[in-house]
Every structure is written in structure tokens, then in C-alpha cells.
Amino acid sequence: MDPALFPRESGQFIAERSRDVFVEEEGVQKVAEMLFNLRHTDDLTASGWKKANPLAPALNWVFVIDTMNFSFWPEEETQQCEVTYKGTKYTGYMTLCAAIARAMEEGIPITDPKYFSQMSMEELGQVLRSDNETPMPMLQERHQVLTEGGRVLLEHGGSFRSFISQAGNDARKMVELIVEKIHSYRDEATFEGKRISLYKRAQILVADFWGVMEARGEGDIINMDWLTMFADYRVPQALVFLGALRYTDTLMQALNKGELLSSGDRREVEIRGCSIWSVELIKERLCKLVKERDGQTCKVNSAVIDFYLWPYAKKHHKEMAHIPIHHTRCIYY
């Protein structure tokens, strides 16, 4: 079988053949202008990452979180899984971060691959327990991917640091290593007869690794610009809201009705692929503005744009409520 196209090429391939999702030039320009005005703020740097990940202490922690970083949306908006940590109540992705922080405080060695590679489903259920009747979705799958990931780390030096160091300091090689060795990170599909990849969690793992290293002053990782945005269900909603993406009425209706899209469904692949491509174009446009107006080289990469758009979507969720997010239960995002 031919190897899959990488995420950037996949995004372009999908966007050029898409039937239900379209990248809008005008919106791309608008978002680039918006980001241009933020170019001197922390929002577009790795410290913007730190803001979005206040509970991130160490590299193995990042690996545990990113390995289970998928599918937090509730079946019913009113039934959200909740985890309280140090007096703050968390929902969504942050329930996972809070649950892991809580476990560490309770003395559970949840970030030690020797432990999490062989923990039982009951033990993980206890770690991820919710404060209310709504459990975190997909416990069985989270258990499967975490124990698998732990076993891979043990085969490669016993820590995420030793595992990832095999890729040198190269973001692209890191992504390739992760998807080659850890099956659950292989976020691929077939679109118009071609194997494509979106690699949301593999890329976010590399970007989080960079974020932690950057915070330590050791973030000299090359090829960060190779990474794309991390195609999930939250950022596409922000891109539609900002006018950089447009859905057809038919797709809008299906999503408004709450239709569940299966992983690999053409529409689901279009939403994710076009999101990747629109952010690539936003980045290009932004760099052009920086060059034209400031006469400088632009250092913003797509990961940093994603680190801005994701919290933006969370912050403006009320204004965006009329734009439906797509729902797909899977381990990829």
C-alpha cells in the first residue's frame, strides 16, 4: 500500500476535491489580519501554549495526556463529565488534565510507563472518575491506547524523552516515529482513492513536547513549520465562525440534526482536511503581511495558530453556538 500523504499535502488534496466544505479566501485574509494584530503578544508564541496548558508539569505527563486526548464531547450538553481539582471544576479536555493531576497528588504513579503499561481498566476508571454521574467517554479505548503506549516507551528506554530522542530534534521525524511505533496515533483515512493522514494527536504530542522544552529554554526543535494545525472538532467551528471555512447547507443541516459522522466518513475527512489547508493559507497570508508591513521574517507556525484558535473557540463558545461542531466518536481526536 502506498504511504499516506502527510497532513499538509492531505489538506491540500482534500480541499481541492471537497464537496461540502470550502476554504474561503476572504475569511482567510480576515483571520490573517486578526493574527497580524496579535503578532507582538504572547498569544502567538510557545508561552501561549503554557497558558493553554496550565497543569502540564513534565514530559511523561504530556505523553499520558496526549495518548488519551480524544472524544470529550458529551452526548447531551447538559451531561458533561466534570473533574474538580484544587477547587476548580473542569470539563472537556481539561477533565483529563485535572484527573491526571489529581491521581499524581493521590500518589498514583500514573506518569510512570512501568505502571501505566499494565494498569487495569478498573484502575484507570478510578483515575478518570467523574464528580457526577456522567463518566468520561470511551474508557475501554483509553485503557487500550494508554497501555499500548506505555509498552512502546518501555521498549525504547522507558520514558517519552528517551523514545522521542531517536528522532533527533526534528519535528517531522518525531511525528513519523510516533505514527510508526504507536498504532493508536495512526490517524489516516482514504479519500478519493488516496491514503491521507491528519495525525492530530501525533502532531499535538510533538508540539506539546516543544512547548515544555521551550518553557525550559531547550526548545531548539527544527522543522516545527512542518506541523499543521491539529484537526479536531473545536477549531473547525472557529474557522467557520471566522469565515475561513464554509459548510454547504446540506452539511449544516446534517450537523444541526446531530448526525453522528463515522471516522473516515467523507464529510468528516473534508471538515478536518479543509481545516488543515485553511490554516496553512492563513499562515502564508500572515507571513506575507509581516514581510510587507514589518519587513521581517514571520516566525509563526501552524501549531501556534492552533494554540490560539482552540482557546479562542472555547472563550467564544456562546457566540458560536449557532455553528454546530461535528460529532465523531473515535480515538483520533
- Torsions phi, psi of 170, nearest 5? -115, 115
> Considering 232, 249, 294, 306, which one is annotated as catalytic?
232
Q: Strands 188-191 and 194-197: what pairing? A: antiparallel
Residues 6+ apart with CB under 8 A from 205: 62, 63, 66, 67, 174, 178, 185
- Residue count (the chain): 333
The amino acid at residue 280 is E
Closest to 35 measured CA to CA, from 283, 317, 320, 294: 283
198, 177 in Cβ contact below 8 A?
A: no
Closest to 35 measured CA to CA, from 319, 289, 318: 289
Closest to 131 measured CA to CA, from 172, 98, 176, 106: 98
Residues 6+ apart with CB under 8 A from 77: none
User: What is the C-alpha radius of gyration for the chain, rounded to an integer number of angstroms?
Assistant: 19
What gap in Å lies between CA 64 and CA 150, rounded to an integer?
9
Q: What's 83's DSSP letter?
A: E
194, 5 in Cβ contact below 8 A?
A: yes
46, 296 in Cβ contact below 8 A?
A: no
Closest to 234 measured CA to CA, from 315, 310, 301, 177: 310
Residue 232 a catalytic site member: yes
Residue-wise DSSP of 91-113:
-THHHHHHHHHHHHHTT--TT-H
Catalytic residues: 232
